[in-house]
Chain A
């Protein structure tokens, strides 16, 4: 109990300091990767990460603001200080960890899946589309299949629809709603591949304090089950939880 009071007091104190500095935490996202993040009909950032991020900010007593940025330049703009976090379905990998820091994962290590326009595509040797600078693109490049890269997730799927690629390789959670809505035009092929070390928030390596706050907030969301509720809401009941 005493501990709890102490932590609360410490939290209130740090929160007070953050308020005093008047610092707004700017949350950088891509806004093109439903259900993780997308732009809704009203033109605002929406999705699993929007809801999660708002909750994390509330728990860490931070004022947050959402910023959109192209995927290609999302890391350079973070390290040069244009926003303070990346919360864009970014998987934790060693390469990225050398440049930026990650919080603990708020989404368990993801399964990536292949989607094709017809059955019987041999994903080991086919032409496979993936988004540039993603773990999926890295995986395809070393898998023996021919990789074609696109700047946005949308274009990777479009490449399969118009026959430019035989299959698309992306997070299964991104592909499921698309396959459902395609009315049989698109289908899953091959096996699912577990990739990456889960999805986490990216921060500057020099921003240890902020990282601590978000880490604590994620821990508390994991502990009281709210994170699992959110995961089920956005990714369906079968999704992996903590």
Chain B
């Protein structure tokens, strides 16, 4: 990046550090931070959507829908994350390719399962075998988002399900007495009031989600923990211009600072949302706000 970086072993330590921190691998490392933040930004709303639908299904009057919602919550919450990430992603990927294979290659005569191998025709590959590397990476990233959304959606569904039940029953009865339909009661009375009960649980989930991003590497997405481990590892002079000892401690220290700072930032944002949601609610928090204002 800098011109003086041509011969790193002749540099003083300050310039050496500048060169070291701006070489190609470090750029990938910084890119991984963006990747993680992007994943969080995309996953959180999607997971919340999954959760909302799950919670709605779990309290539906129509029995099969209710069973579906309840078993989604119970199943996904019960399976260890790491098993889910190892198994589900490969299964999802193969399911997509199988469907494309059926649609695109009807005259394929070989079996799809050959021993351990999963073989589909070239046109059914997802993404296509000759696609650029960034397409493969985006596909991996999309799979990651879906998987995270399903896992965290189940937890969110449970939180929202509880929150919907925590809304005082008198509120719903009053709505009914005013002649609101079930649907109107749900959207106009229940949903606006439930967030305040859901937020503590959801904020927990958000914190867990922030720290769950290293699972990305299981999905083939190179995240910050992978790069910290890779970059911090001992480098011998034969294979790099910047040899160093085991620096993983420093890299992980940097990650620690990043995660703590991000947690702190999240907390202050969540506090603001909480204050806003509490406004005018029939809860202890809402009562305190009223008294403070008066």
Tell me whether A and B are bound partners.
yes
Q: Which of A55-71 contact B (CB under 8 A)?
A: 63, 65, 67-70
Interface string of B29-44 (1 = CB under 8 A from A): 0000000000000000
Count A interface residues, CB 8 Å. Answer: 47
B122 at the binding interface (Cβ < 8 Å): yes
Interface string of B88-121 (1 = CB under 8 A from A): 0010011001000000000000000011111110
Q: Which of B205-237 contact A (CB under 8 A)?
A: 217-218, 220, 222, 229-230, 233-234, 236-237
Q: Which of A69-113 contact B (CB under 8 A)?
A: 69-70, 73, 76-77, 79-82, 84, 99-100
Report the tally of A-B residue pairs with Cβ distances under 8 A: 109
| B166 CB contacts on chain A under 8 angstroms | none
Q: Which of A32-72 contact B (CB under 8 A)?
A: 32, 34-35, 38-44, 46-47, 63, 65, 67-70
A201 to chain B, nearest CB (A): 16
Count B interface residues, CB 8 Å. Answer: 42
A226 at the binding interface (Cβ < 8 Å): no
State whether B115 touches A205 (Cβ < 8 A): yes
Would you give 15 A-B contacts (Cβ < 8 Å), ordered by A? A39-B25, A41-B240, A44-B24, A47-B239, A76-B90, A79-B116, A80-B90, A80-B94, A81-B117, A82-B93, A82-B220, A84-B129, A99-B116, A181-B238, A206-B114
List 8 additional contacts besides A42-B23, A67-B136; criterion CB under 8 Å.
A35-B238, A43-B25, A73-B218, A81-B117, A81-B118, A154-B234, A181-B234, A181-B238
- List the interface of chain B (C-beta within 8 A of A): 23-25, 27-28, 86, 90, 93-94, 97, 114-120, 122, 125, 129-131, 133, 136, 217-218, 220, 222, 229-230, 233-234, 236-243, 246, 248
Q: What are the 8 closest A-B residue pairs judged by CB atoms, nearest first?
A: A42-B24, A43-B24, A154-B233, A181-B236, A177-B236, A43-B25, A206-B114, A24-B130
- List the interface of chain A (C-beta within 8 A of B): 21-24, 26, 31-32, 34-35, 38-44, 46-47, 63, 65, 67-70, 73, 76-77, 79-82, 84, 99-100, 152, 154, 157-158, 161, 177-178, 180-181, 204-207
